[in-house]
A and B are shown apart, each in its own frame.
Chain A
Amino acid sequence: MKWIKLKKQSEDDIQIYGRIDDDGLMRVTCVEAHPELQDWLAEGNTPEEAE
C-alpha cells in the first residue's frame, strides 16, 4: 500500500491524496489531515506524484 498525490485541477485546489492498495486499486482519497495518511507519513513515508 502507498499514498500518491493526485493531480490538481487548478493551482488553487486543495491537494488530494489517493491510497493505492496492494492490488493496484485506489479505494480511498483524502485530504492531508486524514488520520490514516497521517499515520503513514509519520512512519517516514513520502507520497509520490500521480502519473
Chain B
Amino acid sequence: MAITFNADTTNGAVITSDTSGEIELQANGVTKAKVTANGLQDANGNSLRGGSFRNLLINGDFNVWQRGTSFSPTSALYGADRFQSLAGGGFNIDSTVTQSTDVPTGQGFKYSLDIAVDTVQTPTGSNNGGFGQFCETQNFYHLAWGTSNAKSLTLSFWVKSNKTGIYVCQFKQNESGTEYYILKEYTINTADTWEKKIITIDGNTSQSFDVSANGDGFRMMWWLASGPDDYATKDVWIAGSGYRATSNQVNLWDNAANYWRITGTQLEVGSGASDFEFLPYDVQLQRCQRYYYKIASLTSQGLGCVGFVYNSQVGVMTTTFPVQMRIRPTALETTGTASDYSIRYLATITVSNTPPSFYTASLQAADVQFYVPSTTLTAGQACMSRAATDSAYLAWSAEL
C-alpha cells in the first residue's frame, strides 16, 4: 500500500496512509498514478516521465529502412537505419536480417528486426556476434557522467526468439579517455513469445564523455554469441575496451533454425522505463539522414542532382543533403550498374556507360560525376541526373 488519495464518488476525498514511502492517486478506488522511489509511475509501474526526444536511440521502432529490407551479413553490416549487425574477432555472423511485421500485439509497432541464423557457427576465442547502435557523443553530455551527479540510464525493448536462455547487453562508453563498459543479462523465458525487457544501469561517475562531439561516444549492444576470451563480470562498470559478454551468453548460432527479433528499443535517462516514444516518420527519417542519405528514384524520374557539362562525356552535378551530415561523407554508393543512370541534356536523355562516381562532399551537399559514352554534350551547358531504371539510387554514409 501507500498513502492514497482517493477521489471517491460516494465519500469525496478519502485519504489513507502507511509507512511504505509511496503515494498513490486513485479515482473511485482505482489507482491511476503512483509516486515511488523511481519517480512518477502509472498504475502498472511504468514511468510517467515526459519530455520529447527522450529516446537516446534513433529509429528504435525500426520504422526507417533506407538501405533496403533484407540483408545477408557475415561480418559487421548496417541494416535498418542506425542499427548494425556486429561481429568481433572474425566471427562469421552468417544470417539473414530482415524487416519483419511480427510485432508485440497492441503496442503500436509496425515492424521488428529479424535476425535468422543461416549456418551453425561456434564462437571461440574472442569471437562475438550481435546487434547494436553506435551513438554520437554530444547526445550524451546531459548525463553528467564523470561526476557525482552521473545519471542512470534505462533500456527497454521487446524481444522474441525460439532460443530461450540468458543474453547480454553491453553498455559501452566508447572512445573516452578511458573506455568503460557495463554488462547486463536478460533472460528470454518463453520460446516464440514477445517479452518486454527493462534494464537500468547506474551512471558512470568515473569518466566523462570527452571525445569529439560528433564521435563514437556510446555504444548500445545486444550480444547473441560470445567466445570465452571476451567473458567479463556483469553489473559493474569496468574500465576496458572491446566487445564483452558474460559466460552465460547463449549462442544463437548453434542451430540454423534459430531467430531473434527485436523492436521498441528505448534508452532513456532515469531509473524507470516510460512508454515507447513514437516519433512522426518524417522526424525519424531526418534523424537517420544525418548518418545515411539515399536518393532512390524511378525510371525516367530525376535523381536530385543538377549541374553542368564538364566535357563531352561528363556531367558534374550537385545535390543538397536534407539535414547536415554528422561528418563529410567520403564515398558515394550506387547500384554499380551504369545503365541504371542517365544524363538529361537539353531534350536528350543519354544512358550512362559508367556508374556515377564521388566527386566532393561537404556536411551540407555533394557533387557527383555522371558519365555518358556519346560526345554530344557541350561543356558549360546545364544538365541533370535521371534514373534510367527503377533500381537507380545514390547514397552517402556518415555513420559511426
On chain A, the number of residues with a Cβ less than 8 Å from chain B's Cβ atoms is 17
Whether A30 pairs with B332 at a CB distance below 8 angstroms is yes
For residue B359, CB closer than 8 A to chain A, the reply is yes
**A25-B336, A26-B336 known; A18 vs B330 contact (CB < 8 Å):** no
Report if B275 contacts A (CB, 8 A): no
Contact residues, A2-21 vs B (CB, 8 A): 6, 9, 14, 16, 18, 21
Q: A16 — which chain B residues lie within 8 A by C-beta?
A: 357-359, 369
Knowing A9-B310, A16-B359, the reply to whether A33 touches B330 (Cβ < 8 A) is: yes
CA of A31 to CA of B330, assembled, Å: 6
Q: Is B331 a contact partner of A21 (Cβ separation < 8 A)?
A: no
Range for the number of chain B residues in contact with chain A: 10 to 19
CA distance A14 to B361 in the complex (A): 12
**Bound: A21/B355 CA distance, A:** 13
Report B-chain residues with C-beta under 8 Å of the C-beta of A9: 310-311, 314, 369
Smallest CB–CB gap between B58 and chain A, Å? Answer: 21
Contact: A27 with B357, CB < 8 Å? no
- If A9-B310, A18-B357 touch, whether A28 touches B330 (CB-CB below 8 Å) is no
Chain A: minimal CB distance from B360 (Å): 7
9 other A-B residue contacts (CB within 8 Å) besides A9-B311, A18-B357: A6-B357, A16-B358, A27-B334, A27-B355, A28-B334, A29-B355, A29-B356, A35-B330, A36-B331
Chain B residues within 8 Å of A, Cβ to Cβ: 310-311, 314, 330-337, 354-360, 369
5 contacts between A and B (CB under 8 A): A6-B357, A14-B359, A25-B336, A27-B335, A31-B331
